[in-house]
Amino acid sequence: MFKMLLPKLRVNTVFDINLEELYAQGYRGIITDLDNTLVGAKAPDATPELIEWFARVKEVGFKLMIVSNNNLNRVSLFATPLDIQFVHSARKPSNVPFRKAMRLMELTPEKTIVVGDQMLTDVYGGNRLGLYTVLVLPISIGDEGFMTRFNRRVERIALSSLRKKGLWLEEEKKK
C-alpha cells in the first residue's frame, strides 16, 4: 500500500537534481510544487538562487509548470513575475491538476517529472499517473498549515512501515 508513496529519487533540494541526466533520459517537463519545495510556505518571492535554477531548467530544455494546492493569489504572485505557468488550488493528489499541467506543456507522463516535498500529495499523485517523482526535503516546516502538518504525521507512519520492509533507506538520498 505505501509503495505508491516511494519517490523515484530523493534529494535535499531542487538544486541537487541532475537536470542534464534527466533530460538525457528523455524527460522534457517538470511539474513542481511551490510551498516548501521551491521556497518556504510564507516566502512571497523566489530567491536569486532559485531564479538561476529556473533559468537553468529552461536552458537545459525543460518546460516548467508550478502545480500548487495553494490559492490563486499566492501562486500567481509568485509565478507571474517569473513568467512560469501554474495550476492553483490543485487538490493534489488528484489526477486532474497533473493532467492539466501535462496538457499545457504538451507532454505525456513518460516525459514528465514531478518535484515536491510531500509524499501524500506530490509523490503519490505523480506515481498514480506514472510520472518520474522527485521528493525534496521541506524548506520551512514551521510555516506549514494544518493539512500539511496532518499529512506529515501520516507520512511518518508510512515511512516507519517502508523502513521495516526495507524499502526506505536513509542513505538512498542522492545529491
Give the pLDDT confidence of 67-90 residue by residue, as tens digits: 999 999 999 999 999 999 999 999
Q: Specify the range with the lowest mean pLDDT, choosing from 3-17, 48-62, 68-82.
A: 3-17
Reported confidence tier of residue 171, pLDDT bands at 50, 70, 90: low
- Grid cell for residue 80: 507571474
Domain definitions of the chain by residue range: 1-58+134-165
The contacts of residue 51 (CB under 8 Å, 6+ apart) are 82
Nearest to 122 by CA among 163, 69, 158, 161: 69
Q: Per-residue pLDDT averaged across 108-130, rounded? A: 95
Reported confidence tier of residue 64, pLDDT bands at 50, 70, 90: very high
Give the chain's mean pLDDT: 89
pTM of the model: 0.85
- Grid cell for residue 113: 517529472
Query: What single string gives the DSSP state of each residue in 94-118?
Result: SHHHHHHHHHHHT--GGGEEEEES-
Query: Long-range pairs for 86-94 at CB < 8 Å and ≥24 separation?
Result: 86/34, 92/33, 92/67, 92/121, 92/122, 92/125, 93/120, 93/121, 93/122, 93/124, 93/125, 93/128, 94/125
| Residue 172: pLDDT over 50 | no
Q: Encode 18-53: b = buried (16+ Cβ within 10 Å), e = exposed.
A: ebeebeeeebbbbbbbbbbbbbbbebeebeeebeeb
Reported confidence tier of residue 62, pLDDT bands at 50, 70, 90: very high
